[in-house]
Amino acid sequence: MKSKGKFGKYGGMFVPETLMPALEELERAFHTYKNDKTFNAELNDLLKTYAGRPTPLYHAKKLSAQCGCTIYLKREDLLHGGAHKTNNGLGQGLLAKRMGKKRLIAETGAGQHGFATALVGAYFGIPTEIYMGVEDIKRQHMNVLRMLLCGAKINPVSTGTGTLKEAINDALRDWITNIKTTYYVFGTVAGPHPYPTIVKHFQKIIGKETRQQILKAEERLPNAIIACVGGGSNAMGIFDAFKNDNTVRLIGVEPAGKGINTKFHGATLAKGKEGVFQGSLSYVLQNEEGQIQDTYSISAGLDYPGVGPEHAFLRDIKRAEYFSATDKEALEAFKLLSECEGIIPALESAHAIAYVLKMKKKKSDIIIINLSGRGDKDLYHACNALGIKGTYE
Amino acid sequence: MRAMHWELKEPMNRYKKALRKKNAFIPFTVVGDPDLKTSENMIRTMIDSGADALELGVAFTDPIADGSTIQKADDRVLKKQTKLNDVFSVVKNIRKYNNTIPIGLLIYYNLIYQRGIEKFYREAAHVGVDGVLVADLPIEEADLVLTAAKKADIAPIFIVAPTTTKERLHKILRHARGFVYVVSLLGVTGTRNHINPEVYKLLRLVRPKTKIPLCVGFGISKPEHVKILLSSGADGVIVGSAIVKLIEKNLSNKKKMIIEISSYVKKMKAATQ
């Protein structure tokens, strides 16, 4: 290994020995290709002509009026696939192709990363299998259908709460078993090194574009960047370009579910403590013995007891701040953005909007929200919770 | 604080003595499965039925190196609110029952991390543990554990897998004590019908590089597996999922559970001779 993948004390590689050579191989391939001209030209072309980059930075005027400051939305919801996950899917898919891997596997919570992997599998013609918890299959059924249409096989995971954590466990077990042929497309900036670094590398284009776009539109940097945090890939993707701009607040919003003082939330940085889980040292929701706790959130993509190690680091050094929004606040934001801007956000992204609605703001503030995904996948689940029926006599 | 004195007798030597005949049968069970009392009785039965060493699992919510059989056992144990202290109590009782059999713990790192690394090894040594294998701790991350294990005189046990490169093997063998846990296949724990032929190559690769015993685990369930592995250079075999399946099968009849496990251990031990 070139590096141990540490962010301060966080990160590292806490996996069974069987996986270590695969992580070494992956790190080697990543270092070979990340600065390779042909690789990057192919990836950039795909991002542009297939996925639709750059995504717009949209001045949300009605939302701004409602909030009493200037609000921009980074429109990752307009990316092909419906969320920022496609950036990472294409990057790692191309890496897998270069490494000569014959099979892709991935975990998914909301189904966005699963779909990003499925479309990449279809594009490159590599057989793809997706691990997804049975609870998430129910609440994100549209994405299940999209994955199936693109030819991916779904492996339902029924252990535990049947959500993202268990899907990752089973994907890791598959990888341990099929290590020679299979590439594991990890979906977030968590997991063992080199994944937090690789996923950030492919997601940091969000922040790079945003920085140029806001400087062009406002001729100054924003006061704050807000993004939702489950594992933390969209947040890390937009934070990275601003991390040396000390006047820009970087704010991550975790899922408070039914309230962070209940048992039903997924606010890892707020309520977790340092621990080793699914490959890295970071904050973890756990009991005093170190057993991992069940989580809850209305949003499948944020329903996870871990968080990327670099977020733990950014929090410790106070470069980023982390807050939370409840299910109820997220649903209200989901409805509000739809009504006032005609943009239906993913329930994940709705947490970021919810926090902006309640945070303290000044009139002169410029705030950028990373609208990480669109809400089509959540229509049934969210409308059900909001009491919107859509049936007529 | 150290009321008992047997734990001061270099526990690593228990491995040396028990494994020197090179035909060790090592059963595995998750401590507390199906409940603490039955589990302790079962471990005594294993010793009485011919076990040469013990591998005792500590249940974890997310055991990524384990297949569904052991994961279900972990779930059964955690459902009963079993704590690390309960595991230590069982080990302590077993150590009182038998002072020569080597006892190894198989555990995931977060449980050690939350206990406090030094504290965990000190407590483990105190109750009579001889070796600890941390399933999700590769040699690169093991510095703190190695120091604590050495201080407590506990053997750090490491896995080598068919994917382990020569460079990694070198690093691992420099620190491994007690025995080397040779993983027979690419995959997680669980019974398989056949022994993966890659393990013979792996045994040939590792054998000349270390003096400590080589014990093969993962996928072993039948007497013929034991015979072929021991005649191919293994010094011992570790059997887990096949035993846990007998627990799972007899959850409603604990007497029968213990009888079946006893005869299974006897049958497997007989295959080593």
Interface probe with B: pick from A4, A20, A26, most Cβ of B within 10 Å: A20
ipTM of the complex: 0.96
- For tokens 């920022």, what's the residue? A84
> Which chain B positions have a beta carbon within 8 Å of A277's beta carbon?
62, 110
**Which pLDDT does position B92 carry in this prediction?**
98
Domain assignment present for residue B106? The answer is yes
Domain assignment present for residue B211? The answer is yes
Domain assignment present for residue B5? The answer is no
Terminal Cα-to-Cα distance of chain B (whole angstroms): 42
Give the residue numbers of B annotated as catalytic, written as ranges: 55, 66
Least confident of A3-7, A202-206, A368-372, B240-244: A3-7
pLDDT band at B4 (very low <50, low <70, confident <90, very high): very low
Do the strands A103-108 and B24-30 form a parallel or antiparallel pair, or are they unpaired? unpaired
The tens digit of pLDDT for each residue in B139-169 reads 999 999 999 999 999 999 999 999 999 999 9
Q: Give the whole-number percent of chain A exceeding pLDDT 90.
A: 97
**Which pLDDT does position A160 carry in this prediction?**
87
Which whole-number Å values give the CA distances from A269 to A309, A316, B138, in the listed order?
11, 10, 26
Domain assignment present for residue B11? The answer is no
Q: What is the CA radius of gyration of chain A?
A: 19
Whether the pLDDT of residue A321 is over 50: the answer is yes
A210 burial level (CB within 10 Å; 0-12, 13-18, 19+): buried
Min distance A209 CA to chain B CA atoms (Å) = 37
Whether the pLDDT of residue B69 is over 60: the answer is yes
**Which pLDDT does position A1 carry in this prediction?**
79
Domain assignment present for residue B248? The answer is yes
Domain assignment present for residue B4? The answer is no
The tens digit of pLDDT for each residue in A109-159 reads 999 999 999 999 999 999 999 999 999 999 899 999 999 999 999 999 999
User: How confident is the model over B203-225, as a mean pLDDT?
Assistant: 96
> Which chain B positions have a beta carbon within 8 Å of A292's beta carbon?
61-62, 110
**How open is the CA angle A108-A110-A116, to the nearest 5 degrees?**
60
Domain assignment present for residue B25? The answer is yes
- For tokens 């996950």, what's the residue? A85
**DSSP designation for A239:** H
d(CA B70, CA B83): 17
The tens digit of pLDDT for each residue in A55-79 reads 999 999 999 999 999 999 999 999 9
Structural domain total, chain B: 1
**Which pLDDT does position B10 carry in this prediction?**
52
| Residue A13, φ and ψ in degrees, nearest 5 | -135, 95
Domain assignment present for residue B226? The answer is yes
Q: Closest partner residue to B140 among A13, A278, A286, by Cβ?
A: A13
Subunit contact B113:A290, Cβ cutoff 8 A = yes
Whether the pLDDT of residue B13 is over 90: the answer is no
**Which pLDDT does position B21 carry in this prediction?**
83
What's the CATH number where B227 sits?
A: 3.20.20.70
From the list B214, B187, B189, the residue with the least C-alpha distance to B203 is: B214
pLDDT band at A346 (very low <50, low <70, confident <90, very high): very high
> Which chain A positions have a beta carbon within 8 Å of B71's beta carbon?
159
Residue of B nearest to A174 (CA): B187
pLDDT band at B8 (very low <50, low <70, confident <90, very high): very low
From the list A380, A322, A376, the residue with the least C-alpha distance to A352 is: A322
Segments forming the whole domain that contains residue B84: 21-270
Amino acid at A46: L
The tens digit of pLDDT for each residue in A168-189 reads 999 999 999 999 999 999 999 9
Residue of A nearest to B67 (CA): A173
Subunit contact A22:B67, Cβ cutoff 8 A = no
Q: Closest partner residue to A14 among B75, B84, B136, by Cβ?
A: B136
**Which pLDDT does position B22 carry in this prediction?**
84
**Which pLDDT does position B1 carry in this prediction?**
42
Whether the pLDDT of residue B182 is over 90: the answer is yes
Subunit contact A17:B115, Cβ cutoff 8 A = no
Q: Closest partner residue to A16 among B62, B75, B159, by Cβ?
A: B159
**Which pLDDT does position B12 carry in this prediction?**
62
The SS3 assignment for A12 reads strand
Whether the pLDDT of residue A21 is over 50: the answer is yes
- State pTM to two decimals: 0.96
Whether the pLDDT of residue B2 is over 70: the answer is no
> Which chain A positions have a beta carbon within 8 Å of B115's beta carbon?
289-290
| Burial profile A212-247: b = 16 or more Cβ within 10 angstroms, e = fewer | ebbeeeeeeebbbbbbbbbbbbbbbbbbbbbeeeee
Per the CB < 8 A criterion, the answer to whether A163 and A154 are in contact is no
The SS3 assignment for A306 reads strand
Whether the pLDDT of residue B9 is over 60: the answer is no
